Amino acid sequence: NAGVTQTPKFQVLKTGQSMTLQCAQDMNHEYMSWYRQDPGMGLRLIHYSVGAGITDQGEVPNGYNVSRSTTEDFPLRLLSAAPSQTSVYFCASSRRQGTSGSRGFYEQYFGPGTRLTVT
Amino acid sequence: AQSVSQHNHHVILSEAASLELGCNYSYGGTVNLFWYVQYPGQHLQLLLKYFSGDPLVKGIKGFEAEFIKSKFSFNLRKPSVQWSDTAEYFCAVNARRTGANNLFFGTGTRLTVIP
């Protein structure tokens, strides 16, 4: 298994440009999420999904959109990039404990990250 | 809302010294607890986790952590550090409830081990 993959590894955008960060996992995990990592602030949750067709906002969702059309993919879209979105972005996934919706999830596996600079 | 505090921002140790990194969380319900490590230039890797059972949890590379519910703490320990342990360490917590898996992270502790 490749695990969680992210592309691109590095990206430079100009203010106002849009782009999509790609995330894919081949472990058939139900849960996927996007975090941003900023110096001195740890990781903060942007958006998450508990299954195909289901997404929800995390702690810092403004300026980002997500969709989950398949179990494998969870792209993050920056609608109009701003310098405040300069950060390292991590995608993560985890699987549900058991087969019913009444159980929680196991630990999250993280991708290698995308370093985004907005000028 | 949940929050996680890591009081040590930067710890510098010599090889073979013992390590203890503090982690406290604030949440009134039942939690799952994690320590992740990020080596320079790499992504986060799981060191260890606590879901239930024995509050003393052993992870990879000789690390262990103890969950003390009364103190809302989950401190990370290693008896003898190596130069290769130089990395950033993140404590994380999520609420043990169905339908959600959202992690709240501490701000991280940078560990530098001097050979």
| Residue % of chain A over a pLDDT of 70 | 94
Lowest mean pLDDT segment, chosen from A35-49, B10-24, B65-79: A35-49
pLDDT at B51: 87
Question: What residues in A contact B98, CB-CB < 8 Å?
Answer: 101-104
pLDDT digits (tens, 9 = 90+) for B56-112: 999 999 999 999 999 999 999 999 999 999 999 999 998 776 556 788 999 999 999
> DSSP label at A83?
G
* A77: confidence class by pLDDT, cuts 50, 70, 90: very high
3-state secondary structure string across B51-99? CCCCCEEECHHHCEEEEEHHHCEEEEEECCCCHHHCEEEEEEEEECCCC
Contact between chains at A45 and B102 (C-beta distance less than 8 A):
yes
Identify any residues that bridge with B33 across adjacent strands, giving them in sequence order. Answer: B50, B93
pLDDT digits (tens, 9 = 90+) for B25-61: 998 788 889 999 999 888 899 999 998 889 999 999 9
- The tokens of B64 are what? 């262990």
Q: Is A110 near chain B, with CB under 8 Å?
A: yes
The strand ranges marked E within A26-108 are 31-38, 42-51, 54-57, 64-66, 76-78, 87-94
> DSSP label at A12?
E
Question: What residues in B contact A101, CB-CB < 8 Å?
Answer: 98-99
Identify any residues that bridge with B26 across adjacent strands, giving them in sequence order. Answer: B3
CA distance A104 to A26: 20
Asked if residue A119 has pLDDT above 90, the reply is yes
Contact residues, B window 16-45, toward A, CB-based 8 Å cutoff? 32, 34, 36, 42-45
First to last CA, chain A: 36
